[in-house]
Homo-oligomer: A and B are copies of this chain.
């Protein structure tokens, strides 16, 4: 679950935002002043930070600056009151990602939060790789030297399983159970056939397999 740090001295607003976040499936950390907020920002590594511009003590600007100075790139949204002179350029310069003017609709705030989180997420893309091949598990995309290689469903599933179990000695039965599932009972030759296809598509020299290795009398092993 994604954690969102809310730093605002207005008790009422803070609670409102907290409730809204909970309702939407986030875990809020509510904090009333800049100093504590800064500690949480650095300590709890939230997924996103909401910080009020105007606060006694450490202001939002100051919190933002220090968070960035510490090398933390967590997405950060500044909340500003309607009367505040909001200088967009300044906010961008100190490293804020967005700002919202009070009073705001929860819907709007949520949209901004989601937009930022979405923008931030792609780094979390789990791509596994070996030699000149890159595999993005979630997107189901395989690239070789940057070019996309088309994979059928069974091929991709098998490939993913190998990547997630490198170096292990995998019998055909284990592979069948894990990749094909308990309910289908294809011939164990099926595994061989698909291994062949993986080699043809992904091995530097499919006659001398270096990654999808045969264990004679046992099964296969994937080596990165």
The residues of B that contact A12 with a CB separation of less than 8 Å are 88
In chain B, what residue has the closest Cβ to A98? B103
Given A73-B108, A107-B73, A140 and B95 contact (CB-CB distance below 8 Å): no
Q: How far is the CA of A27 from the CA of B182 in the complex (A)?
A: 22
Q: Give the contacting residue for A105; candidates B19, B96, B138; CB below 8 A.
A: B96
In chain B, what residue has the closest Cβ to A82? B115
Q: Give the contacting residue for A218; candidates B23, B68, B96, B140; CB below 8 A.
A: B140
The residues of B that contact A93 with a CB separation of less than 8 Å are 19-20, 23, 106
Number of identical protomers: 2
B141 near A167 (CB under 8 angstroms)? Answer: yes
Write out, one digit per residue, whether chain A residues 211-224 have a CB within 8 A of any chain B CB (1) or not (0): 00001111001000
The residues of B that contact A189 with a CB separation of less than 8 Å are none
In chain B, what residue has the closest Cβ to A64? B105
How many residues in A have their beta carbons less than 8 Å from beta carbons of B? 44
With most chain B CB atoms within 10 A of its CB, the pick from A89, A103, A104 is: A103
In chain B, what residue has the closest Cβ to A92? B106
A139 near B118 (CB under 8 angstroms)? Answer: no
Q: Give the contacting residue for A97; candidates B23, B68, B105, B152; CB below 8 A.
A: B105
Verify if A197 is at the interface (C-beta below 8 Å from B): no
Given A152-B216, A152-B217, A168 and B97 contact (CB-CB distance below 8 Å): no
Q: How far is the CA of A168 from the CA of B122 in the complex (A)?
A: 11
In chain B, what residue has the closest Cβ to A97? B105
A89 near B138 (CB under 8 angstroms)? Answer: no
Verify if A101 is at the interface (C-beta below 8 Å from B): yes
Write out, one digit per residue, whether chain A residues 12-42 have a CB within 8 A of any chain B CB (1) or not (0): 1001100110010000000000000000000
* 12 interchain pairs, CB-CB under 8 A: A16-B89, A20-B92, A68-B107, A76-B105, A92-B103, A95-B105, A97-B105, A139-B169, A140-B218, A152-B216, A153-B215, A153-B217
